[in-house]
């Protein structure tokens, strides 16, 4: 992505916004990603190398989010941050929950060992055992100004939200790509599933629209949050965020407790009347039974034309159910369930 913020709107974004088009092709078809970095098998560790442990990942990712030039809006909001300080969690590569995901999500969902085996094969290596792997998960909280702007919307997403959906996703992928490249350069096998050809969204028999690696489920596994009626992950920074994760050939210890109840932070699931997210949805894709992916997808797909016509970027988005709700920016409490 260009380091210089644009100072005007692009014309004919359906054709000219190559970043948006490329991002969509990568997300939906698994094509257009840069080549995976090669593992530096000749690297000899030195005394100056860090331990590449949990504290190193927390410090490095936090600094990247706070200082990276790509964590920034473009015209007419040039210079404004897209994301606030991240939340970071870890889960062991052999955690039994990944086998459960194959039952809950479907057999198509990769385990850390399976996705790492692909990276190892590309580098001519035997796949490392699951017990030697760690998964790094991070939450990128959307800024308050963007949340407030989108909270004022009732039909379609706001301009800042649309920029966050495109530029924020590109930044998230840039972040993990740079982390993986750095680690591979230091002789440490690493891979981020969503910047590989295997990552593409499609309809699956059991779960409908989905992908072979769910960042949200990985974040739950790492103790970063639980699911709400809107199917979003409610974290200590709320549910208005982007999520990312990657796998590394390092043993990493969990740093956050994982609630047994996957809906522990959702008021409605805990028997407290809320359903604010359902009231925010313009097409009724959320109700007492949960989230209808097909109805949601149909609405989001239609937003592509809206975002191009009004904001001149090639992206789709909504996010109305994640703002102006009790869980938008934190774990809600009972007193916040009513106006």
Q: Is 50 exceeded by the pLDDT of residue 92?
A: yes
Q: Which residue has the tokens 């897209």?
A: 82
Would the pTM count as exceeding 0.85?
Answer: yes
The Cα–Cα gap between 78 and 72 comes to 7
135-149, 150-164, 233-247, 301-315: segment of lowest average pLDDT: 301-315
| Overall residue count recorded for the chain in this entry | 339
Kindly indicate the confidence band of residue 1, based on its pLDDT and cuts at 50, 70 and 90.
Answer: very low
More confident site: 224 or 204? 224
- Residue 5: its pLDDT value, please? 42
Task: Evaluate whether 120 touches 127 at the Cβ level (below 8 Å).
Answer: yes
The predicted-structure confidence for 280-308, as pLDDT tens digits, reads as follows: 999 999 999 999 989 999 999 999 999 98
Alpha-carbon distance of 333 to 339, in angstroms, equals 13
Domain range summary for the chain, segments of one domain joined by +:
13-336
Render pLDDT for 247-262 as a digit per residue (tens, 0 to 9).
Answer: 999 999 999 999 999 9
Q: How far apart are the first and last CA of the chain?
A: 42
pLDDT at 221 over 50: yes
The pLDDT confidence band at residue 15, using thresholds 50, 70 and 90, is low
Q: What is the pLDDT of residue 58?
A: 98
pLDDT of residue 3: 44
Task: Determine the pLDDT at residue 333.
Answer: 82
Let me know: does 314 contact 162? Beta carbons within 8 Å: no
Torsion of CA 264, 265, 267, 269, to 10 degrees: -30
Residue 267 above 60 pLDDT?
yes
In the block, residue with structure tokens 């970043």: 19
Q: How confident is the model at residue 2 (pLDDT cuts 50, 70, 90)?
A: very low
Q: Is the pLDDT of residue 19 over 80?
A: no
What integer is the mean pLDDT of 84-106? Answer: 96
Nearest Cα neighbor of 197 from 133, 123, 118 is 118
Average pLDDT, the chain: 90
Percent of all residues in the chain with a pLDDT value above 90, rounded to a whole number: 76
Question: What is the structure's pLDDT at 211?
Answer: 76
pLDDT at residue 16 in the model: 61
Q: Is the pLDDT of residue 132 over 70?
A: yes
Confidence of residue 69 (pLDDT cuts 50, 70, 90): very high
For position 212, what pLDDT does the model report? Answer: 85
> Beta 226-227 vs 87-92: how paired, if at all?
unpaired
List the single range of 27-31, 67-71, 225-229, 240-244 with lowest mean pLDDT.
27-31
For the record, the structure tokens of 302 come out as 């239609």
Q: How confident is the model at residue 236 (pLDDT cuts 50, 70, 90)?
A: very high
On the CB side of 3, CA atoms within 13 Å amount to: 3
Name residue 243's beta-bridge partners.
Answer: 139
Q: In this predicted model, what pLDDT tens digit does every residue of 158-214 receive, in sequence order?
A: 999 999 999 999 999 999 999 999 999 999 999 998 877 776 666 666 666 667 899
Which among 80, 62, 60 is positioned nearest to 70, based on CA atoms? 80
d(CA 308, CA 315): 7
Neighbouring-strand partners of residue 209: 203
216 CB-side CA count, 13 A = 18
pLDDT recorded at residue 283: 97
pLDDT score recorded for residue 339:
43
Tell me which residue has tokens 């000899």: 44
């Amino acid at each position: 992505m260009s380091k210089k913020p644009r100072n005007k709107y692009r014309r004919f974004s359906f054709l000219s916004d190559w970043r948006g088009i490329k991002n969509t092709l990568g997300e939906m078809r698994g094509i257009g990603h840069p080549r995976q970095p090669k593992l530096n098998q000749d690297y000899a560790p030195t005394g100056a190398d860090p331990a590449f442990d949990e504290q190193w990942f927390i410090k490095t990712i936090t600094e990247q989010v706070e200082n990276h030039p790509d964590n920034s809006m473009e015209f007419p909001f040039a210079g404004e941050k897209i994301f606030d300080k991240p939340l970071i969690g870890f889960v062991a590569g052999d955690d039994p929950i990944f086998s459960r995901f194959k039952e809950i999500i479907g057999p198509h969902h990769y385990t850390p060992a399976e996705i790492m085996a692909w990276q190892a094969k590309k580098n001519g290596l035997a796949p490392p055992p699951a017990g030697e792997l760690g998964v790094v998960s991070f939450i990128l909280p959307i800024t308050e100004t963007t949340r407030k702007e989108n909270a004022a919307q009732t039909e379609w997403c706001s301009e800042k939200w649309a920029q966050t959906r495109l530029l924020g996703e590109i930044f998230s992928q840039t972040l993990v790509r740079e982390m993986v490249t750095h680690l591979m350069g230091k002789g440490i096998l690493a891979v981020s599933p969503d910047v590989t050809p295997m990552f593409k969204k499609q309809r699956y028999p059991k779960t409908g629209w989905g992908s072979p690696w769910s960042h949200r489920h990985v974040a739950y596994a790492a103790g970063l949050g639980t699911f709400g009626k809107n199917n979003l992950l409610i974290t200590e920074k709320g549910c208005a965020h982007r999520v990312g994760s990657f796998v590394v050939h390092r043993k990493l210890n969990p740093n956050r407790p994982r609630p047994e109840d996957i809906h522990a932070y959702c008021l409605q699931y805990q028997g407290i009347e809320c359903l604010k997210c359902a009231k925010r949805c313009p097409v009724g894709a959320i109700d007492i039974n949960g989230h209808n992916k097909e109805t949601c997808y149909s609405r989001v797909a239609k937003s592509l034309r809206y975002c191009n016509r009004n904001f001149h970027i090639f992206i789709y988005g909504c996010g109305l159910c994640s703002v102006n709700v009790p869980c938008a920016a934190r774990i809600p409490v009972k007193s916040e369930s009513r106006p």
